[in-house]
Amino acid sequence: MAAVNQDNTLVVATTTAPSNSKQSQPRAKTVDSQSVLKRLQSELMALMMSGDSGISAFPEEDNIFCWKGTIIGSKDTVFEGTEYRLSLTFPNDYPFKPPKVKFETLCFHPNVDLVGNICLDILQDKWSSAYDVRTILLSIQSLLGEPNISSPLNNQAAQLWSNQDDYRKMVEKLYKSPKA
């Protein structure tokens, strides 16, 4: 059925993708990964077509379950002009379970710890299968400008937040120094 549909759509590769896993995995699992693949491919397409400014994401070279994303700090926030790389790892039961999202660039932010873990409700208990990569990245982008000071992962950042000028200087200093 879906194949009838797909011969008119762009995602021609969808049907071919699971053929590798077919031999080794039981049927139920194959159905699963096939639908996850379809979902991720559709998301990728939607993301590329959406043209949102300041966010982007693309799968890693050989694994569509691992994406690299970038977020650019919004205008009129202390993160303006800075760019952050993130990694997104999708579980096999995505989108029923959230992807694991981490900052790969050091991000001085009250809700991001020093190794890049993010404290964001929609990535944990508030996850909904209706979210997608695009909404995740947009949420993180807006989290940058509007941190939740009450439950910080980075206490220093949380304390400094009240002083936006100093905070901006700190962001710039940290953004430039550990480039390596």
Q: Which residues are catalytic?
A: 119
Pair of tokens at residue 77: 């926030």
Give min distance, CB of 49 to other proteins, in A.
6
Give min distance, CB of 141 to other proteins, in A.
14
Listed residue (176, 180, 119, 110) closest to 146, CA to CA:
110
- In three state form, how does the secondary structure of the chain look? CHHHHHCCCCCHHHHCCCHHHHCCCCHHHHHHHHHHHHHHHHHHHHHHHHCCCCEEEEEECCEEEEEEEEEECCCCCCCCCCEEEEEEECCCCCCCCCCEEEECCCCCECCECCCCEECCHHHCCCCCCCCCHHHHHHHHHHHHHCCCCCCCCCHHHHHHCCCHHHHHHHHHHHHHHHHC
Residue with smaller CB distance to other proteins, 39 or 102: 39
Residue with smaller CB distance to other proteins, 11 or 174: 11
* Contact footprint for other proteins (CB under 8 A): 1-17, 19-20, 22, 27-28, 30-31, 34-35, 37-42, 44-46, 48-50, 58-59, 62, 64, 95-96, 126, 128-132, 135
Residue with smaller CB distance to other proteins, 14 or 154: 14
Give min distance, CB of 124 to other proteins, in A.
13
Give min distance, CB of 19 to other proteins, in A.
7
Residue with smaller CB distance to other proteins, 19 or 163: 19
Listed residue (82, 81, 50, 44) closest to 64, CA to CA:
44
